[in-house]
A and B are shown apart, each in its own frame.
Chain A
Amino acid sequence: MRFEPLLEVKDLTVHFRSEEGLVEAVRGVSFNVGRNEILGLVGESGSGKSQTLLAIMGLIDSPNAVLSGSIRFEGQELMGLPRRALDRIRGKKIGMIFQDPMTSLTPVHTIGAQIVETLRAHEQIGRKAAKDRAVELIDAVGIPAPRSVADRYPHQLSGGMRQRAVIAMAMSCNPALLLADEPTTALDVTVQAQILDLIGKLREDFGSSVILVTHDLGVVAETADKVNVMYAGRIVEEGPKEAVFLQPRHPYSWGLFGSIPPFDGPRPARLSAIPGAPPKLSALPKGCSFRPRCPHAHDACLQEPPLAGPVGHRSACVLPDAAIEELAPRQEGAA
């Protein structure tokens, strides 16, 4: 028996009309998120990872944006859903966390009041019960002295505590899906480690699925089950985390892994950086958009390659499997 995925994104395209022409931010992205699953969307700036997330949330409201494709959540099509219907889902069944916690918090109300507001907007719950539930949530995200923190304003908390408060708010209605856009990028590493542990714990405690958008491969390695690598608006590689990290198939993924200096062991004299820079989204090269930076590019790359490969681990590259096997950089100490 097959379970329906919690979220099914099909052929999602996000274009923006601009003075420079059409900006192709997301170009035909498809993926699923299963229940209780953490999906990492990785890529560099301009890869389309954040726009993909915003599209799922229905938060792209620029008059110059052109969206197409399908986003089905629990079987319901979200694309084109009127705002009021969307509002019943967002915040209740889909929670959101952004890089800057102040995107989600208002400075003029206490933390507790803001969580109470979210709860009462979506659920039939009394003021007193909502307040108690808010304190419980603040406690659940590991904030010490939850009762007193509930009465504090955002500016009275540290960055890490604010992000925890936002997570508490996002989790308030027990969402089936949590969308997190660079949730730890603005935090120090010691605090980041705490927040990542917390996101992992949320899945256990609340049974939520998570889409984690990040530029940090380390963050994905520590939290995700599945990984989508994005480049210039497309998914160039997707698969289970172990497959993508231990046997990456796309030359862009090779370049990304080679760009990160190791923490231990011998230091390479040079990092195998990727030459050049990502293309402008308003002037994409013909065919594979990684072609101008790819050391293995050849004539066949003038055609846009489809996502293909072994079951569950696919990449958008025309290199045959044998060549991938041969060219993939050997990872030191790989098992």
Chain B
Amino acid sequence: MTMATAQKPLLRATKLSKIYKSGRSLLPSRRQQVHAVNEVSLEVMPGETLGIVGESGCGKSSLGRCLTRLQDISSGRLEFDGRDITDLSLRQIRPLRREMQMVFQDPAASLNARRRVGDLLAEPFRIHGIGARSEIEDRVSELLRRVGLRSEHALRFPHEFSGGQKQRIGIARALALHPKLLVADEPVSALDVSIQAQIINLLAELREEFGLTYVFIAHDLAVVRQISNRVAVMYLGAIVEVGDADEVFSTPRHPYTRVLREAMPEPRLHAKRPERAQVKGDLPSPFSPPPGCPFHTRCAFAKERREVQRPALVKAADGRAVACHYPLDGPHPTGLA
């Protein structure tokens, strides 16, 4: 994808962190902290789709909620469209909601079960005081058609729709006010594969048509690769690798990216399946992440340095960035296994 050099990122996070405190103990000193998001820096250019992958507990959902300011940010800086929005109050953030929207895994949870779909889709217009009643009705019909539903669906209730249709409604609602940025958190992972493909196609079409910018969060590498221009891989709250969607998985440079890629079961029998490098053990507890490189406890290539120093995310000349003391050069580095 070619990007004019003068273009400014639509979204920029600088050393963004989100810390949760467990409220179990009255003594502040005994309270545990989790760095759900640990000094994440990223940029998303207008029109671009940045995929974020990782396993459960890696902080990808927390990051998504921070990027749309659905959650307060513990430290770091967040800019949207050139404006610092790190510390905006709820009231200040509200007008911005028109421009940044989210789509969730479970659309049913974000659709009020007692209201008709037409009402649900009209709500964004009413909240932001846009359009007269008749005009809103037209726009709701238009929205429904655009996401592959029919205008008469406006009269139905959410429970009358299948999972895929509910997600279409969730997308319609997010797009109602023509946002610039859409952050989608596992938007297809609850859907059956045949429906999943429909929704991925729909998101790609809408991106084209409305010039949208996406942050697409998911655990399925193939799904993320399909829709993204660039992909960031997260592990224990940190980004360990970023790069072009095709290259990150075909020539991973971080050992964790490689482990993740090789662990994905390959449905194409004729595809050359990379030999699976066994990853040791389970994810460490996020309450007590290992010192140094967060992956060193499970890494096949870990050497002493990993335990002492936390590797920084370093960008190479080709635009790929990796946070590893001993990055891999290709999918099958020799002499390392």
Chain A window 238-264, contacts with chain B (Cβ cutoff 8 Å), 1 for yes, 0 for no: 000110011000000001111111111
A158 within 8 A of B: yes
CB-nearest residue of chain B relative to A161? B282
> Which of B79-87, B188-196, B311-319 contacts the other chain?
B188-196
Number of interface residues of A (CB under 8 A): 51
Asked if A261 contacts B222 (CB within 8 A), the reply is: yes
Q: Chain B binding site: helix, strand, loop or mixed by DSSP?
A: helix
B93 within 8 A of A: no
Q: Which residues of B contact A189 (CB under 8 A)?
A: 55, 219, 260, 263-264
Asked if B194 contacts A245 (CB within 8 A), the reply is: no
A191 within 8 A of B: yes
> Which of B13-21, B33-41, B116-124, B268-276 contacts the other chain?
B268-276
B283 within 8 A of A: yes
Given A217-B267, A267-B226, A258 and B197 contact (CB-CB distance below 8 Å): yes
> Which of A52-60, A104-112, A270-278, A309-317 contacts the other chain?
A270-278
CA distance A176 to B233 in the complex (A): 42
Report A211 CB to chain B, min CB distance, Å: 18
Q: Which residues of B contact A333 (CB under 8 A)?
A: 270-271
A76 within 8 A of B: no
CB-nearest residue of chain B relative to A252? B194
Asked if B164 contacts A245 (CB within 8 A), the reply is: no
> Which of A10-18, A61-69, A133-141, A192-200 contacts the other chain?
A192-200
Report A261 CB to chain B, min CB distance, Å: 4
Given A158-B282, A190-B55, A274-B194, A218 and B269 contact (CB-CB distance below 8 Å): no
Report A255 CB to chain B, min CB distance, Å: 6
B129 within 8 A of A: no
Asked if A273 contacts B269 (CB within 8 A), the reply is: no
CA distance A160 to B200 in the complex (A): 29
Asked if A256 contacts B265 (CB within 8 A), the reply is: no
Chain B window 278-294, contacts with chain A (Cβ cutoff 8 Å), 1 for yes, 0 for no: 11011100000000000
CA distance A275 to B55 in the complex (A): 30
* A-B contact number at CB 8 A: 131
Q: Which residues of A contact B264 (CB under 8 A)?
A: 189, 218, 263
Residues 131-172 of B at the A interface (beta carbon under 8 Å): 162, 164-165
CB-nearest residue of chain B relative to A274? B194
A225 within 8 A of B: no
Interface residues on B, range: 35 or more
Picked from B162, B192, B201, B276, the residue with its CB within 8 Å of the CB of A215 is B192
Q: Which residues of A contact B261 (CB under 8 A)?
A: 263
Asked if A263 contacts B225 (CB within 8 A), the reply is: yes
Asked if A267 contacts B246 (CB within 8 A), the reply is: yes
CA distance A331 to B268 in the complex (A): 9
A335 within 8 A of B: yes
Asked if A217 contacts B192 (CB within 8 A), the reply is: no
Asked if A335 contacts B270 (CB within 8 A), the reply is: yes
Given A190-B260, A221-B266, A264 and B56 contact (CB-CB distance below 8 Å): no
Asked if A271 contacts B200 (CB within 8 A), the reply is: yes
CB-nearest residue of chain B relative to A260? B267
Asked if A263 contacts B266 (CB within 8 A), the reply is: yes
Asked if A277 contacts B164 (CB within 8 A), the reply is: yes
Asked if A215 contacts B193 (CB within 8 A), the reply is: yes
Chain A window 64-81, contacts with chain B (Cβ cutoff 8 Å), 1 for yes, 0 for no: 000000000000000000
Q: Which residues of A contact B197 (CB under 8 A)?
A: 258-261, 271-274
Asked if B263 contacts A218 (CB within 8 A), the reply is: no
Asked if B249 contacts A264 (CB within 8 A), the reply is: yes
Report A221 CB to chain B, min CB distance, Å: 5
Report A252 CB to chain B, min CB distance, Å: 9
Q: Which residues of A contact B265 (CB under 8 A)?
A: 192-193, 196, 216, 218-219, 221-222
B302 within 8 A of A: no
Given A194-B278, A263-B221, A277-B195, A271 and B267 contact (CB-CB distance below 8 Å): no
B45 within 8 A of A: no
CA distance A72 to B204 in the complex (A): 49
Report A334 CB to chain B, min CB distance, Å: 5
**Best-buried of B222, B260, B262, B278 by chain A (most CB within 10 Å):** B222
CB-nearest residue of chain B relative to A196? B265
CB-nearest residue of chain B relative to A259? B197
Report A297 CB to chain B, min CB distance, Å: 16
CB-nearest residue of chain A relative to B193? A259
Asked if A259 contacts B164 (CB within 8 A), the reply is: no
Picked from A190, A256, A267, A269, the residue with its CB within 8 Å of the CB of B263 is A190
Q: Which residues of A contact B193 (CB under 8 A)?
A: 44, 215, 217, 256, 259-260
Report B300 CB to chain A, min CB distance, Å: 12
CA distance A246 to B225 in the complex (A): 23
Report A193 CB to chain B, min CB distance, Å: 4
Report B145 CB to chain A, min CB distance, Å: 16
Asked if B259 contacts A190 (CB within 8 A), the reply is: yes
Report A156 CB to chain B, min CB distance, Å: 12
Q: Which residues of A contact B281 (CB under 8 A)?
A: 144
Given contacts A160-B282, A241-B269, A261-B225, list 4 more A-B pairs with CB under 8 A.
A193-B278, A215-B192, A260-B267, A274-B198
27 A-B pairs in the complex with CB atoms less than 8 angstroms apart: A158-B283, A188-B283, A189-B219, A189-B263, A190-B259, A190-B279, A192-B265, A193-B263, A194-B278, A197-B278, A215-B192, A215-B193, A222-B265, A241-B269, A245-B268, A257-B267, A258-B197, A259-B194, A260-B193, A260-B197, A261-B197, A263-B264, A270-B201, A273-B194, A273-B201, A278-B192, A331-B270
Which are the 8 A-B pairs with shortest beta-carbon distances?
A: A218-B265, A273-B197, A261-B226, A259-B197, A44-B192, A188-B55, A274-B194, A217-B267
Q: Which residues of B contact A (CB under 8 A)?
A: 55-56, 162, 164-165, 192-198, 200-201, 204, 219, 221-223, 225-226, 245-246, 249-250, 259-271, 276, 278-279, 281-283
